[in-house]
Amino acid sequence: MTLTLLPQQLDSYPLWLQNHQYQSNTVRNYLQDLKTFLSFSKNQISEDLISEYFQYLSSKNNSPRYLASLSVFCQFLLDQHLTEANLFKRVKKHLTRQPSLDLEKLLIQYQNYLIKDNKSDLTIKNYLNDIHQYIDWLHNLPPTPFFNKTGVQSFQPNPSPFNKVNLLVSLVKGRSGKAERDCESN
């Protein structure tokens, strides 16, 4: 369901923000961020448009602020009975359940994270090379033998791409500090 947002529906939004104890700077930022979203969505809102906006913002530096603004606006829409649910929360819940399996996009996001974290070019190159080598190794694993309940040997297939990406993400999140220390000590 796509909702077209009319100006009269938006008129009470600043007052709603003030009534919810938001500071004047926050109100001003939320209103500006809402204009950005409405420009992007052509004055409409839906779960699909919010998902597209998530994708659009994924490479932007201020994405957390824009998403926080949109989250509050979706709560306003719900409170005003313009939507039946908080569309932002629905989209976010759906996105967390179905992570992107686009490995190249994930690696680019990780590279951007490393750049923002002021890692050296050599460190970034080494991290990405290690990840590529790990993925190649996963692809070349032979099937894993195991014995079923009757004692008959069978083979378990290699991890699915989804499991590989989850494993990779957990390794990157959990090991980045240790890997950097190891890399810099050599």
Domain boundaries, the chain: 3-97, 103-185
Confidence at residue 85, expressed as pLDDT on a 0 to 100 scale = 93
Tokens coding 80: 């005003």
Q: Are 47 and 91 in contact (CB under 8 A)?
A: yes
Supply 9's token pair: 């529906």
Burial class (CB in 10 A: 0-12, 13-18, 19+), 142: exposed
Segment-wise mean pLDDT, segments of 10 residues, the chain, 186 residues = 89 94 94 95 94 84 87 95 93 66 77 88 90 80 63 55 56 49 43
Q: Residue 116: which residues within 8 A CB-CB, separation 6 or more? A: 61
DSSP string covering 72-110, please? Answer: HHHHHHHHTTSSSS-HHHHHHHHHHHS----HHHHHHHH
Q: Quote the tokens at residue 35.
A: 């204009």
Q: What is the distance between the alpha carbons of residues 142 and 145, in angstroms, rounded to a whole number?
A: 9
- pLDDT recorded at residue 184: 44
Question: Sign of the C-alpha dihedral, residues 36, 40, 41, 42?
Answer: positive
Topology of domain 3-97, CATH: DNA polymerase; domain 1 (1.10.150)
